Structures are given as structure tokens and as C-alpha cells.
């Protein structure tokens, strides 16, 4: 289990670095929002790995709240961009 935790942690860290690179470099606001969504999903995954390794459920409320807020934020930005293009 320890080896799997280290491997998943390394992969999540690499994915977070790449998502932050896209967040900083993204030419459009939609790409930046997508990168921020991916970064939030990576954080949620890291908390899930921590819960699995340490066998607790302490982060469960934060995970659910972060997932709902990430979804609502993405929908809000996409609706805003869609409304701007139609006007």
C-alpha cells in the first residue's frame, strides 16, 4: 500500500505542476477555468488517497463541497461565456 501511495502521490504532483503551467499560460479564459477545474480534481484525488492510506473519513465533507463548488463554478463560467457570445 505504501508503494501505491507514493506512486499515486508522484503522479498527482506531476499532474498538478502541468495543470498550473496550463493555468498560467492558457491563452483563453476557458482554458484557465478548465485548468483550475483539473487542479481542483487533483486536490480532491490527493485527499482521497490520503483517506485511503490513513483509513479515515476526515476530508469527506471538504471533498463533497469542493466537487459541488467546482461544478457550479464551471457551469457559471460556461454560461457567462455562452451569453457573451450570443449577444
Q: Provide the Cα torsion 60, 65, 67, 69; round to 10°.
A: -170
- Domain coordinates of the chain in residue numbers? 2-86
Stated pTM of the model: 0.88
**Half-sphere exposure of 21 toward its Cβ, with a 13 Å CA cutoff?**
6
- Please give the grid coordinates belonging to residue 70: 467546482
pLDDT per residue as tens digits for the range 56-79: 999 999 999 999 999 999 899 888
Element (H, E) at 6: helix 2-25
Residues of the chain above pLDDT 70, percent: 99
The CATH number of the structural domain formed by 2-86 is 1.10.287
Amino acid at each position: 500500500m505504501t508503494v501505491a501511495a507514493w506512486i499515486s502521490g508522484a503522479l498527482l504532483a506531476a499532474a498538478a505542476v502541468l495543470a498550473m503551467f496550463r493555468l498560467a499560460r492558457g491563452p483563453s479564459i476557458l482554458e484557465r477555468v478548465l485548468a483550475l477545474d483539473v487542479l481542483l480534481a487533483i486536490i480532491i484525488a490527493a485527499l482521497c488517497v490520503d483517506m485511503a492510506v490513513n483509513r479515515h473519513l476526515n476530508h469527506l465533507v471538504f471533498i463533497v463541497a469542493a466537487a459541488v463548488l467546482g461544478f457550479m463554478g464551471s457551469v457559471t463560467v460556461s454560461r457567462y461565456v455562452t451569453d457573451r457570445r450570443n449577444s
